[in-house]
Amino acid sequence: MDMALKILEEVHQFGIDRRTEPIIAIGGGVCLDIVGLAASLYRRRTPYIRVPTTLLSYIDASVGAKTGVNFANCKNKLGTYIAPVAAFLDRSFIQSIPRRHIANGLAEMLKMALMKHRGLFELLEVHGQFLLDSKFQSASVLENDRIDPASVSTRVAIETMLEELAPNLWEDDLDRLVDFGHLISPQLEMKVLPALLHGEAVNIDMAYMVYVSCEIGLLTEEEKFRIICCMMGLELPVWHQDFTFALVQKSLCDRLQHSGGLVRMPLPTGLGRAEIFNDTDEGSLFRAYEKWCDELSTGSPQ
């Protein structure tokens, strides 16, 4: 919030025309969120433009209308809904960021693949390492390949995100597939800050939820294995010692409080298919947790 106020002070001193001079946010997801919040507060609404410079912000933070800052040791506890007047997307920015941050963005791409698009999942399975190596630059198209993995994967990730967000921009409906990987990860991310990047925490959450899906019969063992291997191929963490079962219980309890008395748990029901569940019992959650720890705490699937 201090940074949002600092931005507002600069905007005020500059004497911006709030209708013809949009604020331009150039940066990663945190930058876009904070500048968006500042724009929504200045004279109640000042237009702003998003220019994402990381993979995560390119496919996630640049889409939708949410702004926010952390508050009371909680992620994005303060925020508004205000769409930018434009989002300018240029993948050449992505070559400037470290490999770990590209993997970080791939977690949000994998989220949309698991929820909505089997073809995107299979693309990440096959071309994930290439995307990391090439940093999503189209000049590095694979030899003898008729598709550009960088262009196809980013377009599909954004399109599937828009399909989910556009009809429910203000979150009047709290059943959201895009919440996959975001039930436990906010508390994990804040607990270990700054050890985990956002996408890394999301992926750890998703890895556990894949075990939950398998435990209650929504995924086969083979599908579970494929997903975990894909995650590891994208150089994402699949387990963390601070992701305790007590953290799972507390996070889901908080979820009930803030989601209208329902847990609204998005779970994959196949590769590229998902549904919202409200009746996952604690016994299944615990058995899935034990198997997850037994198989992945050593760093590789058994």
Q: Which residues are catalytic?
A: 66
**DSSP-H helix ranges across the chain:** 2-14, 29-41, 55-56, 99-116, 118-134, 149-165, 185-192, 198-215, 221-233, 245-258, 282-296
Element (H, E) at 70: strand 69-71
CA atoms of 175 and 180, how far apart (whole Å): 11
Phi, psi of 301 (to 5 degrees): -65, 145
With contact defined as beta carbons under 8 Å apart, do 257 and 266 qualify?
no
Angle between helix axes 99-116 and 221-233 (nearest 10 degrees) is 150
Give me the DSSP letters along 227-270: HHHHHHHTT-----TT--HHHHHHHHHHHHHHTTT---EEEEEE
Task: Locate 188 and state its tokens.
Answer: 């994990």
Look at the block and give the residue holding tokens 């724009």: 39
Q: Which of 33, 135, 119 lies closest to 80, judged by CA? A: 33
CA distances from 67 to 49, 103, 246 (A): 13, 23, 29
DSSP single-letter state for residue 149: H
Residue 270, classified by CB atoms within 10 Å of its CB into exposed (0-12), middle (13-18) or buried (19+), is middle
d(CA 294, CA 291): 5
